[in-house]
Amino acid sequence: MKGITVKLPDTTLRRLRQEARAAGLSVAAVIREKLEGAPGRGSRSVYEITSDLAGSVAGDRKPATNDRHRFARS
């Protein structure tokens, strides 16, 4: 396995250490899980995060298209 160095703000590192301690993992393991999107430890898919927003936007049913005739050169 290769290593990498990342500089983080103190607050982020503090949060990572707290999460690692609570999960009984190393900080590196927590970071690997977050990068890999490991399921089961609080990571959710984009669908899960945004599914409650579906249908919540009101507006015209006309699709947002680029009407090129407005930009025709004369």
Per the structure, the count of domains in the chain is 1
Look at the block and give the residue holding tokens 């590196």.
Answer: 28
- pLDDT tens for each residue of the chain, 74 residues long: 888 888 999 999 999 999 999 999 999 999 988 888 755 556 677 777 777 777 766 666 666 666 666 666 66
d(CA 19, CA 16): 5
Assess if residue 57 is contained within a domain: no
Task: Enter the pTM of the model.
Answer: 0.48
Assess if residue 59 is contained within a domain: no
Assess if residue 62 is contained within a domain: no
Angle subtended at Cα 11 by Cα 17 and Cα 24, rounded to the nearest 5 degrees = 10
Domain span at residue 6?
1-51
d(CA 20, CA 29): 8
Contact 26, 16 (CB under 8 A): no
